[in-house]
Amino acid sequence: MAKRSLIGVLALSALLACSPAALASSPALVGPPGSCPASAGTTIASAGALTVGTCVSGGGGSSYVEFWKLSLTGGDRVQLTVPSAVALEFDLYSSDTTDDRFTAVRPVDVEVTSPVSGAAQVLTIQAPYSDTFVLADCEPVDYAANGGDCRGVFTGGGAKYTRMTQPYAFTSAAVGNACASPPLRAGSKLALGPALTIGACESGGGNDIDYWTVALNENDQLELTVPPAAADVEFDLYSPGTTDATFPRATPTDSRLAAATQGGATSQVATLTAASAGTYVLAACEPKASATIAGSDCRGIATGTGAGYILPMKPYTFTTSTIPQPAYDNTGYDSTSYDFNFPADAWTASDDAPAYGKLSIATQTVSVSKNRALRLSIRCAGAPCTGKLTLTAVTKTRTANGTKNKTKKATVIVASTTLTSLDTGTTRASLILTKAGRRLLRNAARGRLRTTATLKYDTGTTTKSAHATITLRAANT
């Protein structure tokens, strides 16, 4: 494993835990700024190295911005403690930031102290990828309304910043939430997206959109676990063959939001389902408020609605895992809740048992072709099975009755078929959507319609039913 710039690296299974040892070994708050070495540079070229776990000082001059160089691995988090009540802003820039390019390079992370008299201020910065970053430090006039970054000193926002005449000092300490090994750097373009390794820890941020590729089998579920982060992270899965040129016109096959809030204690899990086998594009972006872009996806950044997203993205990490399709058949299940077993007392096969079998169906997600055709996996236990399969959906209609509005519910038959003499085992039943079903699917959010499957079958003495939730997915979504 590459040499780490941070201490207290966590195992992958402990992503959410901070490193007590690292915090315990942090330097105590210092006294006067002069007691810590002054290693900042007034230019990027003259910036000294900032070693995590030490105390440094700055200020006391006429410069508007001071700089350090800080080596971090993707996902590393560093806590900066400022004992004085001075307002300080810390910006993290990529290693290719130079004095000539400073005003043109956006910071990958920005944190500002909120001075309270007599109280130390603590900030946490995070690395979106592995790099030797430029850490810029400046003093906003109004910390609560600075609304930018230290580049504003040179780009017309100088009135928001003051000369750093007041001496200051701060200590740095490593905290947890780092990956156990250096993560891949996400692509800023789709063509640059690296291939994900399932089970690995990855980091992102610093781009408008992060891209990876991931190989999945049909109906595989890709789980992405995001520990507490600085912003919500949306993950979109795009079809194999999607390119930078076709991306703005491509509809994701699946999309989920991981609402991860910094300071929280619970990780968020986003689960994406592959419609077919292939190498997909995984895109990540950060909506400012998920409610304002409902039904949208990361393409909005490239098609004119970037104002609804955080640009560039705040740093975050995630781990991956997959839930493979069931080994016994290509069924398209979208959860692990499938269970074709019956209670022991429900049916017992014997020489005297009638020639009737038991039917069962599991929760699954299936595609509907342009010709309205779909196939569901069902299972027959025992003797050959006979019965009827029906898909229904519930519609809601708001009606006005004087000054009162009422919601009227109705059950609509989406598809149905008769099953005759099915062999024992798993069978794919073919159905055709009704006109009403096609209309509901066409109007469903993101091309997905939630339905209920009902299997009615004869036991020889009575009629029984089996039920399951079926999600229909339009073939072109």
Q: What would the pLDDT profile of 204-247 be if each residue is shown by its tens digit? A: 999 999 999 999 987 788 989 998 888 889 999 999 999 999 99
Q: What is the mean pLDDT of residues 8-19?
A: 30
How does residue 348 score in pLDDT terms, banded at 50, 70 and 90? very low
Predicted local confidence at residue 325, as pLDDT: 52
Predicted local confidence at residue 45, as pLDDT: 97
Chain position carrying tokens 């190295």: 49
Burial of 203 from C-beta contacts in 10 A (0-12 / 13-18 / 19+): buried
Lowest-pLDDT choice from 148-157, 291-300, 411-420 = 291-300
- Identify the bridge partners of residue 68 per DSSP, sorted by sequence position: 48, 135
Burial 406-416 (b: 16+ CB within 10 A, else e): eeeeeeeebbe
% of the chain residues with pLDDT over 70: 77
Cβ–Cβ < 8 Å for 106, 164? no
Cα separation, 106 vs 148, whole angstroms: 10
Residues 6+ apart with CB under 8 A from 260: 226, 227, 228, 229, 231, 232, 233, 267, 268, 316
Predicted local confidence at residue 24, as pLDDT: 31
Chain position carrying tokens 């080994």: 327
Model-level pTM greater than 0.85? no
Predicted local confidence at residue 379, as pLDDT: 85
Q: What is the mean pLDDT of residues 92-101?
A: 96
Predicted local confidence at residue 17, as pLDDT: 31
Dihedral of CA 434/436/440/443: which sign? positive
Q: Whose CA is closest to 395, among 378, 408, 377, 414?
A: 408
Predicted local confidence at residue 253, as pLDDT: 85
Q: Which domains does the chain have, with CATH numbers?
A: 12-175 (2.60.120.380), 190-323 (2.60.120.380), 357-474 (2.60.40)
How does residue 332 score in pLDDT terms, banded at 50, 70 and 90? very low
**pLDDT, tens digit (0-9, with 9 covering 90-100), for 37-47:** 999 999 999 99
Cα separation, 136 vs 134, whole angstroms: 6
Cα separation, 70 vs 52, whole angstroms: 8
Q: What is the radius of gyration, based on Cα positions, of the chain?
A: 29
Predicted local confidence at residue 408, as pLDDT: 76
- Inform me whether the pLDDT recorded for 21 exceeds 60: no
- Report whether the peptide linkage leading into residue 312 is cis, meaning its omega lies within 30 degrees of zero: yes
Residues 6+ apart with CB under 8 A from 148: 157, 160
**Token pair for 331:** 């069924």
Q: Are strands 65-72 and 48-49 parallel, antiparallel or unpaired?
A: parallel
Write phi, then psi, for 437 (nearest 5 degrees).
-65, -40
% of the chain residues with pLDDT over 90: 39
**pLDDT, tens digit (0-9, with 9 covering 90-100), for 253-263:** 888 888 765 55
Name which residue leads in pLDDT, 398 or 403. Answer: 398
Instruction: State the CB neighbour count (10 A cutoff) for residue 232.
Output: 21
Predicted local confidence at residue 269, as pLDDT: 83
Predicted local confidence at residue 247, as pLDDT: 94
Report CA-CA distances (Å) from 399 to 114, 395, 402, 406, 409.
52, 13, 10, 5, 11
Predicted local confidence at residue 358, as pLDDT: 86
Instruction: State the CB neighbour count (10 A cutoff) for residue 291.
Output: 7
Burial of 233 from C-beta contacts in 10 A (0-12 / 13-18 / 19+): buried
Q: What is the mean pLDDT of residues 103-129?
A: 87
Predicted local confidence at residue 476, as pLDDT: 60
Cβ–Cβ < 8 Å for 228, 267? yes
- Inform me whether the pLDDT recorded for 350 exceeds 60: no
